[in-house]
A and B are shown apart, each in its own frame.
Chain A
Amino acid sequence: MPLAAAVECLDPDAALACALADDLDRAFEALVIAYRVRIVTFVARMLHDDARAEEVGQDVFVRAYRALQAYPAQRRETLRLRPWLYTIARNLTRNAFRDAPPFADSLDYDDGNPSAALIDEAAAPEDILLRSEAWQSVDDAVARLSTAIRPAFVMRYLDDLSYDEIAESLDQPLGTVKASAHRGLLAVRAYLENNDG
């Protein structure tokens, strides 16, 4: 076995992609089991609506299945499942957003120049986030982020996607997603500070 193939087998997503390429119908449940909680949680944070999250979460997997059906086996095999599923989730929550406008009191401002907000992350004191055990407050803060930066913040800081994966999911340049995630972090931190105790 070539080394690259051996390494790929260690990655559960790569193994899952191979299984989906081999027999989509038989492997699909494994994809749903692996990602349903993450995707529904992500959708709930995007929509700030638990009731609709379930339905839109289902939509994500239905959309994923239809897309996989249409892909040739070779494309399925090489698919990076995580960023790909987040792309679908992001697109479907954007559609859902059109029905329900976000909070008027958005936490972050948009000066049209995201890179201006790009600060060295190493210097950002996010102790308050680490201390915060009131996750409801975090979710409330997330709900107040604008739709422009919310996905990048949630993917990076709550869902632990790499910047590469986020850039791929959102189809945005790396610098943009880094700036968005960081601006989200500052805004959430400010919200938690103001609502602490």
Chain B
Amino acid sequence: MGESNFGALRTAPNRPVAPDFTAQVFTRIGLDRYVTAASAIGEVFVAWRSGGVSALRIAGDAMTFESWYGERFGRRVVPAREEDPISAAARAKLGGDEVEVPIDLGECSPFERRVLEKAAEITRCNARPYGWVARELGVPDATRAVGNALGRNPVPLLIPCHRVIRTDFTVGGYVFGSETKRTLLEAEGLDFAAIERVTRGGFRYVGDDDDGTFCLPTCGTVATRVGSPGFVALRSVDEAHAHGLRPCSTCRPIAA
């Protein structure tokens, strides 16, 4: 019996490797990978390692992205040949699916991380002022530091830093530009024309008599209801209390 008769033995089953095998190896050798994905603002580069997504930037010149990445994170990033669970989750979320995406904020300071985690709690069709984030974190004087931390968000869109706006409810700055920020927020359902109608008159809150609560004008679509029966624009928390209204538990307007 010749060599060729060992064919059956050579079909011995292989042991499958874990889906994150390659990511584990790459993390251990200090090399990250990236893919191109479609998002609400067009094509973006998404870089990741075994701990989660590490960076997101608008797709463009690959060399520019790779050198920016090296400077920011001190690691090289190379184009990925295959998808893995983390990049697939990021791609799904950027495409609009409600999925959990692991994020690696390893390069951020503890304060930056707290700011970004708070921003991540803000849901679609909502925006909160920088000062609100500062108060929620128990550091009401750190509004500027909050803005800086959000400006350094390594994973825009995946952590929705665009949902944090200026205290006067104008959109404020954004890593991809103010226009993009406004477009994103409006695509998510916020009506800035309605918000501006409220704030132009010096009003900061919107009361809902039926509910007995008052909200920030950027809490869902509440600003569009001002003028309809039961909804009233308010200048201050005192005024809201005078109406017998309590703060909305979603947007927690006292914190603003």
Contact = CB atoms under 8 A, between A and B. Distances in A.
Do A and B interact? yes
B228 interface: no
A157 B78 contact: no
24 contacts: A25-B76, A26-B78, A29-B78, A29-B80, A32-B25, A54-B17, A54-B18, A54-B21, A58-B21, A58-B25, A58-B28, A62-B29, A126-B1, A126-B6, A126-B9, A129-B6, A130-B6, A130-B9, A135-B12, A138-B9, A138-B12, A157-B9, A158-B9, A158-B12
Contacts of B21: 32, 36, 40, 54, 57-58
A48 to B, nearest CB: 11
Interface in A7-49: 25-26, 28-30, 32-33, 36-38, 40-41, 44
Interface size of B as a range? 20 to 34
B200 interface: no
A124 B6 CA distance: 11
Interface of B: 1-3, 5-6, 8-10, 12-18, 21-22, 24-26, 28-29, 31, 33, 76, 78-82
Contacts of B28: 58, 62
B169 to A, nearest CB: 46
B11 to A, nearest CB: 9
Nearest to B7: A130
Nearest to B77: A25
Given A29-B80, A58-B28, A158 B10 contact: yes
A143 to B, nearest CB: 13
A65 interface: yes
A167 interface: no
Given A57-B17, A135-B12, A135-B13, 9 more contacts: A25-B31, A29-B78, A37-B14, A37-B17, A41-B14, A58-B21, A65-B29, A127-B1, A129-B6
A50 interface: yes
A5 interface: no
